[in-house]
Amino acid sequence: MLKKLFGLDKKEEVEMPQADGKDLLASPATGEVVSITEVPDPTFSEKMMGDGLAVKPSEGIISAPVHGEIMQLFPTKHAVGIKTVNGLEVLIHIGIETVNMQGEGFKAFVQEGDKVAKGDKLIEFDMDLVNEKAESTITPMVITNGDIVEQMEKHEGQNAVGGETTVLDVTVKQ
């Protein structure tokens, strides 16, 4: 209530870059970047949701991989969808079988409609709890509208810093 009264609930306005057909996506989490085929869930490993990659996180913080708008925040806070200025739709899914946790151990720092900058904290999660109650902490990041992708270069097999290290270089069709 006090936050609303004094305007403290207002986030700084994020300056969105101009659409140029190219998106450089950072890792959504700090950890080891691996192939999407290593995700122990066929929905992701067989690219049913789209192509991308995954991160084996070393800490429970999910950061914005790119400037964009939060299009979807699942009520259970285990997944978030971002749309870039180039129209790329990016889904970040924290862990496998985490939907069954019903939001326990997850804290969101954004809501649908928020504009975010690369590196902004989106979600925190309790890695120990996810390891205990879900199948895996591996976090897929997929492009769900691959039909607009002209070219995608993946930078797998590296240790990345969430919100900083570029892991996907995507060019969209003009």
CATH code of residue 100: 2.70.70.10
Compute the Cα dihedral for 62, 122, 92, 152 and give only its sign.
negative
**What is the predicted pLDDT for the residue at 151?**
95
The answer to the question of residue 160 being in a domain is yes
The answer to the question of residue 144 being in a domain is yes
**What is the predicted pLDDT for the residue at 174?**
82
pLDDT above 90 (res 19): no
pTM value is: 0.90
**What is the predicted pLDDT for the residue at 163?**
97
Residues annotated as part of the active site: 93
Number of domains in the chain: 1
Tokens standing for residue 115: 């504009």
In which residue are the tokens 């902004």 written? Answer: 120
Expressed as residue numbers, the domain containing 112 is 20-172
